[in-house]
Structure 1
Amino acid sequence: MLAILFLKKRIPQILLALLLVQCSTIKKDNARLQQLIPVNALHEDVDFTHRKLQKLHPNLDYYISKEKLDYQFDSLKKCLTKPLTPLEFYKKISPLVAAVRQGHSYVLAPQKAYTKKETKSITKKGIGPFSQFDFSYYNDKLYVLKNKSYIKSIIPGTEVLLVNGIKPQELINEYSHYFSSDGFNTTFKKAAASKRFVSYFTIENGIKDSLHYVFKYNDSIKSITIKRFKQDSLDAKNKKQVERKVVLDKAKQQILKKKKRINGFDKTSNTFIRELHFVSKDSSVALLKIRGFKEGHYRKFYKNSFAELQKRKTKTLIIDLRNNGGGRLSEIVHLYSYLADSSFVFLKKTEVVSKASLFEGVYFNKGNAVVKTIKTLFSPIVYSYLLLTVHKDKDGKNYFDTDTKPRSINKNAFKGKMYVLINGGSFSASSILSTNLKGSKRATFVGEETGGDYNGTVAGFMPIVKLPHSKLHLRIGTMNFTPFYQSPVHGRGIFPDVSILPTLEDQIQNNDPELNWILNQP
């Protein structure tokens, strides 16, 4: 009791101490961004990266031969003859990790960090000069898709030629070498290029309060400076109306809160992660939009959704997996039980480098000193579990048994016609789900080739390892997931049965040609 009272009295001091430590750490990390790393230290970081990939990443030679990858690491060391900053070194080491061609494994770019106080100060200033636009990267050019800025004369469809003197195409092309899709497709990088451009620019230049744009619309070229601005706050009268409405709609607020909890909710885009809509008056056609397999109570959502489909006697189900970057394996296996037309095996055996790769690379990788101490206490139990679940097969490789046994379909499994919408942003778990739907001929696919490989991906537990000298962070996939169905085409995604790509005008007008094609089918 006395200890608790003592701690309560010391809480302000403890919080202040933690804040000072955080500020000190951020200040130290930011100072390191400008420091040169000696050549011998760079060489050690290259060797460290190579060893970690070999130790933790299964099937490392699936897309590139061991000899070729070893040669690239040796060649890089020979080329590193002068000290480099962390960002300069990132641009040297990240293409080697990208050469493995597994999209879940990559080096994180170093960039300036901000304290909570600094972040709050920036936010208080208003909307940044990038956030005032939605962009689209179309035919290797960056366009304004939506203008949310205070300068209303900028028309959607306007090309962005320069931002602070930087050509978007050049920065996008440069950084495309620093990460990879799964395999050899090109759709994955294009799908995220417009959003990634903002990240690339910020990595190079930091957060800006104003940006000088050079725009082109038809044959007219204009130079415009976009500054950070604050939206007009509601006047007192409107505030009272809003407050009154919140009180009046308290019941609706509770319903909304519950829906967010079950469907999952993305605060950044202000959208539900999972949504079910009926797109025909008679409920014969339904659209299931899934933006990711993360957050939310997915079991309850799918249970309610497929019961509703059955209740309404829906005949056609459209599953929209466009720009779905993946998430939980358990969710896609559960969802597939509602989509398959017979009992199924979802995955083949999952390859891992060793029992130690999961134990060392994952179990002890994350957490502070307290968390790691607790993990140490439980480590005998965890390692015993790995001993039972990871085994060496006849081929000499180690496998982790997960979702390899036959499963029955759900009693409310959908039995009607099915379409799946895909594009380059369909990656990871959404690609594994698509593979099984495609391989079983359960659905017709519409859109463009997925960003994920038809034949699987290396993901699962993904530790982030810090390089000893540059302090760069390396993310590594540790489990090679292989869908039950396989394709003879090496290193490519799931191809659509009907290939449709929205034009720039489609994007501006919010027209959906892929969905429209499906809705026009008899």
Structure 2
Amino acid sequence: MKIGRLLLFLGLWIGLGCPMMPAQTLTPNQARTDLTYLKRKLDLLHPGMGYYTPRPRMEQLYDSLYNGLTAPMNYLAFFHHVSPFVTALKDGHTNLNHRKNFIGKTTRFIPFYIRPVGEQYFISHNVSADTSLHRGTELITINGRTVADLHRELMEADHSGSDGDNLTGRQQWSLVQFADYYAAWYGSADSIVITYRLPADTLIRKTRLNCLTLTSFRSTIQRRYHNEIDRRPNLSVRIVDSATRTAVLRVSTFMGTKKNDPFQWAFNRRLKRAFRELKKENIQNLVVDMQGNGGGIVLNSARLLRYWMPKPFTIMEHEEMKRAARNELISRWNPFAALNFSLQYKANGSDGFASRSSRRYYRPRNRTSFKGNLYFMMNGASFSATTSVLAKTLDAGMGTFVGEASGSAYWGDFAGHFKTITLPYSRMQVRIPLKKLTHAVVADRANGFTVEPDFRVTRSYDDVITNRDYVLEYTLRLIREGVVARQPMQPIKARPLQASR
């Protein structure tokens, strides 16, 4: 279990260099103003209002929340009050975030990472002062509440990274970032009381642990688990089995590698090098590791697909936005912004705009294309542009999918461009996607709401203890046994193929 990306995830909501803000109380009028402002902005801008949750239900929920604001409310209580309206959208790209400086350098976090096995939860990395809490220690309660109950509440409180009623994204992120989620939902705590059971022991013990600042958390992780920190660069290739000519291509993100690279040339160059190496080594089985890849730039996902798609393809069938979104994409200080918008978008006849270039075609690579067996390792944190790659590959009748369902929908998502609004009084921030992106896929070729695995793999207790990459181990076993769900370059059938065993 590599932890390099976990160090990046920890502190997602943290404004470094800023202290914890003092308590804030909102009057009923201030709270109502904030809620009304949020709803108005969502109605104006969000292309998915009413898509997953019917509009009458959203209106009913809004009225209930609005009418419940009858007394002064502290900031964190109001955060909890607003959250159900945002999560009701069931859109993984719409995020409710704390006001700036609410969490900062002095915020203290729960001092461990935890991993589930069935209905139980175990410590995988311990950064507390109590070094007796070895890997594999069962964590039973935190401050009197079971970990399962806490996980359930945190998972329901934030829909980030998970579309519709899909659970895998919420389950994945709320555990990978458990310390972040806990601090964001319950606030900073100097210490916690836990009950636990040590490995190979039946006795339930109880202790108090001090919580750590982000700086202390990171330094302890790096000191105790430096051998487990994932230092692999994005788009890295490693040969894992020379007998079966198998390699792993790690695709950790579709974001660019450089800030000042609008055409994503650096990403493209690294991708070319990776597939040249695969061809040079005569790789016959390629494992594409997309676990934890939260997405990024669609252009980069298309560039990856070019290396195995059998014929010219397009990623998106439609890209649409509401009329009010136009004002968010036009900069007043730029005299060419309106003209540029007109060149990129056209009125769609339903009080909105559609992209003129959504059906851009990409030609497959010929000289360095991969012709062998494709295996995809994925989980609930495989989201957004990552699901676009998985959906297009499934639609083409290719690939063997291993792990758990991706976080985004097979049909597409709400993303593209974003507007972050700040509520007037609480100063909470909400990120709103402006575009509805519909994948150019055939609905009958879906294998579920998301892209579902052909082989679902779950963690065992032994996997926790040994820190084993259990999804990769399972995938390599499939390769050694010659198991594929879909043969490369075969004609597409109307319904998804069943996994052969």
After TM superposition, the score normalised by the length of structure 1 is 0.76
1:352/1:478 contact within 8 Å kept? yes
For 2:125, the aligned partner's letter is: K
What is the alpha-carbon distance in structure 2 between the residues aligned to residue 332 and residue 388 of structure 1? Answer: 24
**Partner residue of 2:430 out of 451, 467, 474:** 474
Q: Which amino acid aligns with 2:205?
A: K
Write the distance in 2 (CA, Å) between the matches of 1:114 and 1:41.
22
Q: Which residue of 1 aligns with 2:282?
A: 313
SS at structure 2 position matched to 1:426? coil
Partner of 1:410: 365
**What is the aligned counterpart of 2:206 among 223, 232, 241?**
223
What letter corresponds to residue 240 of structure 2 in structure 1? V
2:139 corresponds in structure 1 to 160
Going from structure 1 to structure 2, the CA distance change for 1:309 and 1:197 (only over 3 Å counts) comes to: closer
2:380 — aligned with what?
424
1:76 aligns with 2:65: yes
The 8 Å contact of residues 420 and 446 in structure 1, kept in 2 or not, is answered as yes
1:359 is aligned to: 327
Structure 2: gaps (5+ residues): 1-14, 220-227, 258-265, 483-501
Q: Does the Cα contact within 8 Å between 2:415 and 2:434 map onto a contact in 1?
A: yes
Matched, 1:294 2:255: yes
Distance 2:138 2:203 in 1: 10
How far apart are the structure 1 equivalents of 2:410 and 2:451? 5
Moved more, 392-401 or 297-306: 392-401
Structure 1 gaps of 5+ residues are 1-21, 234-266, 364-374
Structure 1 contact 146–508 (Cα < 8 Å) conserved: no
Corresponding position of 1:336: 305
Q: Deviations over 1:340-385 (max 9, x none)?
A: 121111111111112x41432x55xxxxxxxxxxx5331x312211
Q: 2-side partners of 1:270 and 1:307: how far apart?
A: 22
Query: In the alignment, does 2:410 pair up with 1:450?
Result: no
Counterparts of 2:77 and 2:388 in 1: how far apart (Å)?
35
Determine the C-alpha separation between the residues in 1 that align with 2:442 and 2:158: 25
Q: Say if 1:454 and 1:486, in contact at 8 Å, map to a contact too.
A: no
Does 1:463 find its partner at 2:463?
A: no
Measured against aligned partners, the alpha-carbon deviations of 1:393-435 in whole angstroms (never above 9, x if no partner) come to 3555421234412221123221211111111121111111110
SS of match in other structure, 2:443? coil
* 1:214-256: CA deviation from partner (whole Å, max 9, x where unpaired): 212342122234447989x9xxxxxxxxxxxxxxxxxxxxxxx
2:124 matched to 1:145?
yes
Query: Quick one: structure 1 residues 518 and 205, their matched pair in 2 at CA, closer, same or farther if it must change by over 3 Å?
Result: closer
Deviates most, 38-47 or 141-150:
141-150
Matched, 1:169 2:148: yes
Residue type at the aligned position of 1:287: V
Distance 1:464 1:376 in 2: 17
Q: Report SS of the residue matched to 1:302.
A: helix
Which structure: larger Rg?
Answer: 1
The match for 2:179 is 198
Larger % of strand: which? 2
> Matches of 1:61 and 1:111 in 2, distance apart?
30
2:211 and 2:428 map into 1 onto residues whose CA distance is 31
**Count of residue correspondences:** 439
**How large is the Cα RMSD of the aligned pairs?**
3.0
- Give the distance between the partners of 1:193 and 1:227, measured in 2 at CA: 21
Task: Report if aligned partners of 1:86, 1:472 keep a CA contact under 8 Å in 2.
Answer: no
Return the TM-score normalized by structure 2.
Answer: 0.79
Question: Percent of pairs identical after alignment?
Answer: 24
CA distance in 1, matches of 2:187, 2:63: 33
- In structure 2, the residue matched to 1:515 is 472
